[in-house]
A and B are shown apart, each in its own frame.
Chain A
Amino acid sequence: MAPLLSVKDLSIGFGKDDSVVRDVSFDVAAGETLALVGESGSGKTVTCRAVLRILPKAAQIRTGSIQFDDRLGSKELVHLPERDMRDLRGNQIAMIFQEPMRSLSPLHRIGNQVAEVLWLHGRKSEAEAKKEVLACFERVGFPDPERTYSSYPFELSGGMRQRAMIAMAMVAKPKLLIADEPTTALDVTTQAQVLGLMKELQRDTGMAMILVTHDLGVVANMAEQVVVMHKGRVMEAGAAEPLLSAPAHPYTKALIDAAPKIPAAAIPTGVPAQQDLILELNGVSKTYSMRAGKGWKAPSLIYACRGVDLHLPRGKTLAIVGESGSGKTTAARIALGAEPPDEGGEVLFRAKAGADPIEVHKMDRIARTAFQREAQMVFQDPYSSLSPRMRILDTMIEPLEIHGIGDRAERREKAGAMLQMVGLGQDMLMRYPHAFSGGQRQRLSIARALMLNPSLLVCDEPTSALDVSVQEQILRLLEEIRDQKQLSYLFISHDLAVVARIADEVAVMRRGLVVEQASPETLFHNPQHPYTKALIAAQPEPDIHRPINLQLVAQGAGRPEDWPEHFRFSGFEAPPLVPLEPGHKVRCHV
């Protein structure tokens, strides 16, 4: 049988430059999933867009053919007239994009945007289309389709928006679905559920799928065929199982090695003795009040953090893990003194071993300045955390200027030394940030944070905007610096696998509460809390024999009111955090 889609020797270039995609060939059979894998800049996105011919204006398909074979006969998509192409788009070949928020128009109701596909392809009356869309909404898991139909995108959460995008792609029952990093912007538990949904829908409808991703874990869970791309060329292609278990190409091997893994099983290490603590959060809560829409209603309260106790020993790494909205970033901001905790909470900081603790939120201006020298932050997005209008040198020495340390020559020398320390060259000091890649920029942010010789570094998802192989390098750098300079890290992440590697202790947060806390070995070897189990289960791994256990994910990532009785919240009331064994705390009823 002829494949549904057959791409042959495809080359695509921008303007007069060299081709960014070179001689790419692959086939997709009906009902099959093909994964296009690669890092940013590998050409995978351009390739999949070429199939729908929605390339940027400057790009042109130079050579090659794209054959699409629906039942009416084979079509050459490269030369198909635009009008016929339009009939295919959304109808025969649909697409899901990466950012569910920005990929939906903010000003139109969801129902309108989804039903539009049916109106466009002129198959349905308005009433019929609505009926079909409602059925589709129910299929993708909206509890109240009618209400979703008349909602605006900003009223839905990220996961729900991606479900709406999937509904939009599926409603016309296409033969081929192209999904461009469909879950990259989602939390790990949401990602697992969305992937599960896509797979289920594929089984029901028998459509084929091209999955574009950088995550080999996602590939292992979804794909039958894999095409690995690097710098516009296919490095390796073939069935998923042999390719992932015995990669032939060194690049594939490197990719698989770089993917962070949760340790299969390890011996729980002993309890870290309560020794010299650099940072202590005692009973920290934070409540925000939201202005209610109507004047006479009391403002609704949001409990971002509830009674968080965290202790960070000097020279160690404490990680806070949780989904967006779990309160992990709020906890970090309070620890840095960026926000005051509610009455009753305190944050203690000891700059030197054995020094008297200072209370971070009760400092005068001078003490605060001194504290800021000791505690620095590395941010999530290396693209927006460096000023594009300042030279690297100026960005680097700014902290020294603020604190009045050294003269110009000393500052410059220090900046050069720091750059070398993070693996960049001294000669890069006079460049602007745009001349650096994502990974290099994150190195720059780390170097900047180190300029003041801090003793505490707060890292807020420092690797989540980076490619896997770069992520690996940054993590290694952070470990090296920690050991070399005796730094302590407060590490915020939603990615358990990353945390497993770098942390000495992990606190898992949900709804502002720590639900489980232990060393990573204990946590992965012997997770107790359903949410922790869900997080671990949801982590896609590049091992085709360990698929995501969706049941575990659904149970733990659901509402805390629906957790097993032992762990269940009843509304605002949550069970206490009890020590199960030394160094392992779980929030459960005793």
Chain B
Amino acid sequence: MEILRYAFYRFGTMLLTLWVVSILVFVIINLPPGDYLSNQIAELRASGQSAGVAKAEFLRSEYALDKPLWQQYLIWVGFMPGPHGFSGLVQGNFGWSFEFDRPVAEIVGDSLWLTVLVNLAAVLFVYVVALPLGVLAAARARSWVDYTSAFVGYLGLATPNFLLALILFYYGHRWFNLPIGGLMDPAFEGEPMGWEKVKSILIHLIVPTFVIGTSGASAMMQRLRANMLDELGKPYVETAIAKGMSPSRMLAKYPLRVAFNPFVADIGNLLPAMISGSVLVSVVLGLQTIGPTLLTALKTQDMFLSGFVLMFVALLTLIGTMISDVLLVLLDPRIRYEGRDA
């Protein structure tokens, strides 16, 4: 029950953090002088298109951009009634994209969960690859296993992702007939979910997962190896051997268990790093994730769109850290019992 209370408490702090993040995001997207509309108005004025100016002015008041900043913020989040009553993020209205001239929700729509999907697959890949390799490298430290995995790992770290993407696409297509670009066969786009569509998505996922995951996996592997090596020097390892345990069993039960903590704690950091890291990859691979949208939105000062995307990324991060915190409490009795009388 204690764990439930902790999870609840942790959820509360997450909401609080999210609120602070929303202020930060709003401030940051408003930092560059002007906004999308005033830039457009200036442009239209210069070319003498008064009809456009009128529309832009209308939009300005429609989206409360003529109000002071703090009011704009409150309206955006949905704490204060705007021109159309309470209608902000909290109420589920993500705003209007000026660049695409469509509601934000419509633009991001599918790409939201595709982003989550691609990144979850990458995180899974990171863990599945890094765990055995890291342990193996530590157990066979300073042997050819260690050196080879370190070499491959550094190669993975050092190769630019987009380059890796291009290479993999080329050979993947040539040897395994893997599809190039996109996250599903174009035929399925906009179609309802079905077995064939899932299959298409899974096949399309292979290369992106590999591309986005490799650098994370090699970094994680090195970290796990270092942690494991630290733990292997601890006296309790010697105790276990003196009990008559076999090395592999000892490795899995004791040092790995301790080295696992930072591993779990990394979930929170991994998600945002991958999302921001995968923007370029998504552009190169033509993935329908949120990345390319964010890039365009930031470039054109499309405030509501970029604001929403940033908030979404923040939400993912916070959920990630929350999950890893709760897992850590489950895993480590020292954290669980903290505060009890010792």
Contact = CB atoms under 8 A, between A and B. Distances in A.
Interface of A: 52, 54, 86-91, 94-95, 97-99, 102-108, 116-117, 120-121, 152, 154-155, 165, 168, 290-293, 300
Given A54-B241, A95-B239, 15 more contacts: A52-B242, A89-B243, A90-B243, A90-B244, A94-B242, A94-B243, A105-B239, A105-B254, A106-B334, A108-B253, A117-B243, A120-B245, A155-B337, A168-B243, A290-B341
A165 B238 CA distance: 13
A-B interface, 4 closest residue pairs, ranked by CB to CB distance from nearest: A89-B244, A90-B243, A90-B244, A293-B339
B341 A102 contact: no
Contacts of A152: 333-334, 337
A107 B329 CA distance: 12
Contacts of A102: 234-236
Contacts of B254: 105, 108
A54 B334 contact: no
Contact of B257 (A91, A105, A117, A155): A105
Nearest to B332: A107
B243 A105 contact: no
A490 B175 CA distance: 79
B310 interface: no
Contact of A89 (B241, B332, B333, B340): B241
Interface string B303-342: 0000000000000000000000000000111100101111
A107 B257 contact: yes
B341 A293 contact: yes
Given A107-B333, A292-B339, A300-B341, A90 B236 contact: no
Q: Interface residues of B toward A: which range?
A: 20 to 34
A465 to B, nearest CB: 17
B223 to A, nearest CB: 19
B258 interface: yes
B239 A103 contact: yes
Nearest to B242: A95
A91 B258 CA distance: 26
Given A105-B258, A106-B334, A97 B238 contact: yes
Contact of B243 (A116, A154, A292, A293): A116
Contacts of B244: 86-91, 117, 120-121
A99 B236 CA distance: 9
Interface in B191-240: 234-236, 238-240
Nearest to B239: A103
Given A152-B333, A293-B341, A108 B239 contact: no
B241 A108 contact: no
B245 A154 contact: no
A357 to B, nearest CB: 38
A103 B235 contact: yes
Contact of A120 (B243, B333, B337): B243
Contacts of A86: 244-246
A123 to B, nearest CB: 12
B257 A108 contact: yes
Contact of A107 (B240, B241, B245, B258): B258
A106 B261 CA distance: 12
10 contacts: A86-B244, A86-B246, A94-B243, A97-B239, A105-B258, A106-B258, A106-B333, A108-B254, A121-B244, A152-B333
A107 B231 CA distance: 12
A40 to B, nearest CB: 16
A98 to B, nearest CB: 8
Q: Which of B239, B339, B340 has the most CB of A within 10 A?
A: B239
B329 to A, nearest CB: 13
Contacts of A290: 341
Contacts of A116: 243, 245
Contact of A54 (B242, B332, B333): B242
A99 B235 contact: yes
Nearest to B260: A107
Contacts of B246: 86
A86 B250 CA distance: 12
A54 B243 CA distance: 11
Contact of A103 (B238, B245, B331, B332): B238
Contacts of A89: 241-244
B341 A105 contact: no
A30 B238 CA distance: 25
Interface string B234-276: 1110111111111000000110011000000000000000000
Nearest to B341: A300
Contacts of B234: 102
Contacts of A52: 242
A168 B243 CA distance: 8
A95 B239 CA distance: 8
Contacts of A95: 239, 242
A87 B234 CA distance: 23
Nearest to A171: B243
Q: Which of B238, B246, B258 has the most CB of A within 10 A?
A: B238
Contact of B341 (A104, A107, A292): A292
Q: Which of A88, A290, A300 has the most CB of B within 10 A?
A: A290
Contacts of B235: 97-99, 102-103
Contact of B334 (A120, A154, A292): A154
Contacts of B333: 106-107, 152, 154
B262 to A, nearest CB: 13
A14 to B, nearest CB: 16
A163 to B, nearest CB: 15
Interface string B122-163: 000000000000000000000000000000000000000000
Q: Which of B243, B245, B339, B341 has the most CB of A within 10 A?
A: B243
B106 to A, nearest CB: 46
Contacts of B245: 86, 116, 120
A31 B254 CA distance: 33
A322 to B, nearest CB: 19
A106 B255 CA distance: 11
Contacts of B241: 54, 89
Nearest to B331: A107
A290 to B, nearest CB: 7
A106 B257 CA distance: 10
Contacts of A103: 235-236, 238-239
Nearest to A117: B243
Contacts of B331: 107
Nearest to B234: A102
Q: Which of B242, B257, B339 has the most CB of A within 10 A?
A: B242
A168 B244 CA distance: 12
Contacts of B342: 154-155
A154 B241 CA distance: 21
A480 B165 CA distance: 74
A89 B240 CA distance: 10
Nearest to B238: A54
Nearest to B255: A105
Contacts of B258: 105-107
B245 to A, nearest CB: 6
Interface string B108-127: 00000000000000000000
Interface in B16-49: none
A87 B337 CA distance: 36
Contacts of B242: 52, 54, 89-90, 94-95, 97
